[in-house]
Structure 1
């Protein structure tokens, strides 16, 4: 589906390039393309899809001038998944999106195929405001101007729509503060994650405490639905005139019956893994001999998660990556410990690390409610896994010291 969407975008860009050429190279030359009195500019909102890239919906700007049979949608959400190093660049926050433009009917057809509703809010603008917005979009769509650095919360296909219109409408826009949801940035995204539980888990894993502050009305508009919501009650600043004069349903999709499997959800998968680890930890403790194979896996896995989070904190340009308090339970040092634990002669000394990490994680559980960051329930399962191993070692160490025995694993 992504490849199909890219092909539609590419065809649209070719058509638009021809249009730009016709405008720029026309005999008018020094004059911009002049909209007629019939021209309308509107905000287009598309409902969420079932894929990770489409789960939050989409926004675009439509320019329709029936006098010239001109009906173009300007879309700030174009990216090329096949671009070199796309995954790495996306993770590093170095993904470049671009503005493209193509015929509105082709745009709508793509969403019909995906069974995603399309709504249009026609704006109440003066002819000069329409022309100013259109001129800016034409300028912004030029090859040298159309690329921008994508930022999930603060600079995406939805925020660009908000800014383009607010900056080019006389006096700007005044949004109704009473429409504020009073939700955090994280909570706003979670409203869309009901069907994609692994995406929800992944975002909670990587996104920091910065996402746990309440979003302002302007910040809420990183989501297309909130662009639609806030524009519905927005007014031209200083005039008190509602900016939206008409709402039209371009396409109403049937009810989406997509459901995710609870059996393969992160909580179920890691709950089963936790029960497995705890069972063998208790069994080995009762036998008085803790085997090392499980330690390598549990500490290595936990440390690897910490390394991944640490990389995003230090190197990713994405917003809300730091400070990430998940590093309190996902400890990068655990990966080093897992390798060091394989050296038998070091174990008598490394046993004390079990005591340290036990105290550390117990303190985390006791203090987690005071940390200014939301912790996904699965994260506590990761803590239990490590605790089941470290506590078993720690208690055996205590018993051996109590009875004057040397501590050897």
Structure 2
């Protein structure tokens, strides 16, 4: 019967936890830690993860509080995610189950045991229990400013006497640089994110702000001090699980650069053959300018309607030109083409100007975007050459 007692105690604790009631005190042997999980190889895990562990060996209580939970099956999830209206929630998981998942996916887990008074441990624990209650656990997710890592940062800092002082320096990187460091292993993800994330992402992140990345929680907590007594915030650091080294092989052939280079050459050869015959057919113009304008309208939707941070302003709209959509509709009418063909002169000059000045704009562009601009530029430029050639022959 004595061996069953800890199990009953644990059962009661779980009931209290999920009812959101703070009804027991942690013992002096209890520890609160920050867990940092290394990035995975999937888009949803590529940035890593942060969580808070509460471990009381006397009471046999060991739970991980995790602010990174969402319900993909909730109504209109994809639409709400696109609009930036995604609701995440705080969940609690048994430590063993939490570790099993990361071991299974071969993602390292680091633990920083915090230097806290007994009162602070209890205060943090009480807050987490309250926050995990069904009526309190939901929050509006914001990738840069309110996510699983920033929540961990704030829960710790706000429940320590005097707060936390960070003694090291910020990396000096922009928000775009910070996420790009992790996205390099997934080139198409990096390519897609740069489509939608605008100029605000090219602002330099402060030390506090760059802790939206879990690895920077690990880094800055390691050097942080308690403001009240100057002692180190982290009492002990250990590696709970060290994953074997894994190298995600990049397929150069299917990379954004390779794919766009192939399309560029294909369009160039095809269009130049028509140009030599001095007859550029309208269908390729409709397809290319249609793709460009549709992409521009897609990006415009995020600029004007999405609540995600750093969506506006987005200077990608200088080369993904939404007004091309009007030209496409009009270009479909054969009788208007003799007059509309002069639009090619305008859009050619516009895209050439972008390619020349793009490096000086207040937004960092993915290098492939200039290649894509060149791809869209091919046919309007050839149209322009034909127009200028005709005008020259008329003058003669």
Please report the TM-score for the alignment, with normalisation by the length of structure 2.
0.94
Q: Deviations over 1:317-342 (max 9, x none)?
A: 00000000010000011223223211
How many Å apart are 1:22 and its aligned residue?
7.1
In structure 2, what is the Cα distance between the partners aligned to 1:175 and 1:310? Answer: 39
Q: Check whether the contact 1:209–1:324 (CA below 8 A) recurs between aligned residues.
A: yes
Q: Does 1:276 align with 2:273?
A: no
In structure 2, what is the Cα distance between the partners aligned to 1:22 and 1:182? Answer: 43
Aligned to 2:276: 286
How many Å apart are 1:401 and its aligned residue?
2.3
Q: Check whether the contact 2:20–2:133 (CA below 8 A) recurs between aligned residues.
A: no
SS at match of 2:212: coil
* Pairs within 5 Å for 1:233-248: 233-248=223-238
Aligned to 1:126: 117
Aligned to 1:11: none
Q: Deviations over 1:43-92 (max 9, x none)?
A: 00000001100000000000001111000100000012222222221111
Structure 2 unpaired stretches of 5+: 1-10
Q: Does 1:91 align with 2:88?
A: no
Aligned to 2:99: 108
How many Å apart are 1:17 and its aligned residue?
6.2
Aligned to 1:395: 385
CA RMSD of aligned residues (A): 1.6
Q: Does 1:365 align with 2:355?
A: yes
Q: Check whether the contact 1:23–1:33 (CA below 8 A) recurs between aligned residues.
A: no
Q: Does 1:155 align with 2:134?
A: no
Aligned counterpart for 2:326 among listed residues 309, 331, 336: 336
Alignment coverage as a number of residue pairs: 385
How many Å apart are 1:18 and its aligned residue?
2.5
Q: Deviations over 1:147-187 (max 9, x none)?
A: 001111000000000011110111010112x3311111101
Aligned to 2:29: 38
Aligned to 1:28: none
Aligned to 1:74: 65
How many Å apart are 1:15 and its aligned residue?
9.9
Q: Does 1:18 align with 2:37?
A: no
Q: Deviations over 1:279-307 (max 9, x none)?
A: 12222111100011211111011111111
Aligned to 2:7: none
The change in CA–CA distance for 1:23 and 1:136 in structure 2 (over 3 A counts) is: closer
How many Å apart are 1:258 and its aligned residue?
2.2
In structure 2, what is the Cα distance between the partners aligned to 1:338 and 1:172? Answer: 59
Q: Check whether the contact 2:41–2:248 (CA below 8 A) recurs between aligned residues.
A: yes
Please report the TM-score for the alignment, with normalisation by the length of structure 1.
0.91
The change in CA–CA distance for 1:94 and 1:21 in structure 2 (over 3 A counts) is: closer
Q: Check whether the contact 1:16–1:102 (CA below 8 A) recurs between aligned residues.
A: no
Aligned counterpart for 1:167 among listed residues 146, 158, 175: 158
In structure 2, what is the Cα distance between the partners aligned to 1:114 and 1:308? Answer: 34
Q: Check whether the contact 2:53–2:64 (CA below 8 A) recurs between aligned residues.
A: yes
Q: Deviations over 1:3-61 (max 9, x none)?
A: xxxxxxxxxxx99862426783xxxxxx6421111110000000000110000000000
Aligned counterpart for 1:62 among listed residues 53, 71, 75: 53
SS at match of 2:92: strand
Q: Which segment is superposed worse, 254-263 or 15-24?
A: 15-24
In structure 1, what is the Cα distance between the partners aligned to 2:156 and 2:140? Answer: 19
Structure 1 unpaired stretches of 5+: 1-13, 25-30
How many Å apart are 1:231 and its aligned residue?
0.2
Q: Check whether the contact 1:302–1:382 (CA below 8 A) recurs between aligned residues.
A: no
* Pairs within 5 Å for 1:285-324: 285-324=275-314
SS at match of 2:248: coil
* Pairs within 5 Å for 1:192-211: 192-211=182-201
In structure 2, what is the Cα distance between the partners aligned to 1:77 and 1:273? Answer: 39
Aligned to 2:218: 228
Aligned counterpart for 2:376 among listed residues 379, 383, 386: 386
In structure 1, what is the Cα distance between the partners aligned to 2:29 and 2:368? Answer: 56
The change in CA–CA distance for 1:22 and 1:334 in structure 2 (over 3 A counts) is: closer
